[in-house]
Amino acid sequence: MRTLISSAFISLDGVVEGPGGEAGYRNAGWTFKDIEFVPEAYALKGAEQEEAGAMLLGRASYEAFSAVWPDMADFARYKELPKYVVSTTLTEDDLVDNWGETTILRSLDEVATLKETTEGGPIIVHGSASLNRALSDAGLIDRYHLLVFPMLLGAGKRLFSDTDKDTQQLKLVEHETYSNGIQKNVFDIVR
């Protein structure tokens, strides 16, 4: 079975919305505001590209990333990886043609089936706040890669679901704190 990894830039209060400056969010671009750039704090992102066997996105994140990532040198490895978009509304005509193989999945059951395959290595989820919450509630996430920024953003889309459910234990398997206050936390889901 393949590992499903949720990767996120996240504020201390759990917000994941608009980290790169996406329009429509009051605090858009918060990963760049008053945070000194420390290259080693972002090394996890390069490691994810090398480790990943596929990328999983929700519709909104696919539309945002597919508009810019295909031509960015920083994300070149993702161009060759298979991509899966979970959406009930996206059509084949909506997919870009310069970002490699992309498959539309219509349900979380299809995500579960994808996880059951044995080829291809880990599946990484970027952005996709709504999808992340649904995947978590369905018990499909195996690991979290979190870069926690030392700020409170208040309102905004959250990574974690507020569904009333049983406690989910996590095991911290890797962590580091950087000079700019960012913390790397890698958690495995305890099953």
Strands 102-105 and 123-126: what pairing?
unpaired
Cα separation, 5 vs 11, whole angstroms = 18
Q: Are 149 and 118 in contact (CB under 8 A)?
A: no
Structure confidence at residue 24 (pLDDT)? 86
Cα separation, 182 vs 36, whole angstroms = 10
Compute the average pLDDT of residues 86-114: 97
Q: Is the pLDDT of residue 120 over 90?
A: no
Structure confidence at residue 74 (pLDDT)? 87
Q: Is the pLDDT of residue 118 over 90?
A: no
Which structural domain range is residue 88 located in? 4-189
Cα separation, 82 vs 121, whole angstroms = 11
Q: Is the pLDDT of residue 119 over 90?
A: no
74-93 pLDDT tens trace: 888 999 999 999 999 999 99
Q: Is the pLDDT of residue 182 over 90?
A: yes
Cα separation, 114 vs 2, whole angstroms = 8
CATH number of the domain where residue 140 is located: 3.40.430.10
Average per-residue pLDDT for the chain: 95
14-60 pLDDT tens trace: 999 999 888 889 999 999 888 999 999 999 999 999 999 999 999 99
Structure confidence at residue 33 (pLDDT)? 87
Cα separation, 124 vs 53, whole angstroms = 8
Q: How many domains does the chain have?
A: 1
